[in-house]
Structure 1
Amino acid sequence: MKVIIALCALFVVAHAQKAEEPIPIVKYDNEGVNADGSYQWSYETGNGITAQEQGQLKNAGSENEASEVQGSAQWTAPDGTPISINYIANEEGFQPQGDHLPTPPPIPPAIQRALEWIAAHPEPEQPAASNLQPVYKSAAPQQRRY
């Protein structure tokens, strides 16, 4: 959560440094952290930056307890492009979405066919390898008869 707040604050600072006057915060709401672990906050600045976030605990008190955070931010880039980002952060990691974010190139057709073939023809499961070393017992020394 601290990373997300720092990211939003960075946007505000980046835009504020270009202005000669301080940019006012025109709206700010903050609730929590509540007894159940939930919280929410939002803000809007005088130059049109907006951000909001809410979070809650999932499976509180259990072995699988995890937090989940959802939020969004909007601002205008220096070149005039409107930027909007939505994100979720949970046990699967930070997952941002936005038109301005880079995307991976498409998978080449030959690779895609190979992946589909592999998925359709899984290898049979093999027993897990053991890290145990074999134990060798030495034979008792033979007594020689003369």
Structure 2
Amino acid sequence: MTQLSHLNGAGEANMVDVSEKPITVRQARAEAYLSLSDHTRELICAGKHPKGDVFAVARIAGIQAAKKTWDLIPLCHPLLLSKVEVTLTPLSHPSRIHIETLCRLSGQTGVEMEALTAASVAALTLYDMCKAVQKDMVIECIRLVEKRGGKSGDFRGEYND
């Protein structure tokens, strides 16, 4: 059986030691979708949502979440991110918001969890901002889209939408 990297010799959880790994540029993209009614989407896009600029708040929340991933996910390393980007795109058929995140750094470990956390929290923030208007929204398809760099090499997800 292969030993898991987050377990020590006694089988106890521990943080992986990355001190011997080379510093390289690493990047990850993640995405999520928020399915919502046409009415709610139109309120957001027209800037008429009762809570104001919903997209601005969700963008900031996603960026903050990426920066706090090590606080939220046990055994994640604190990282000095050089870029965090959150893109929110309204879609019509079906009615939903596409959330895409990008995280980048020069470091010794990857940024997949940061990108996934940013997408998740941006989606949760959209839900929170819009729940007074619509409660039956659905957060869907949180997934890693792409990662570059590091020992395991590049990854590009092949998904059917």
- Which interval holds the TM-score relative to the shorter structure? under 0.3
Q: By percentage of residues, which structure has more helix?
A: 2
Q: By percentage of residues, which structure has more strand?
A: 1
Q: Which has the larger radius of gyration?
A: 1
Higher relative contact order (CA 8 A, sep 6+): 2
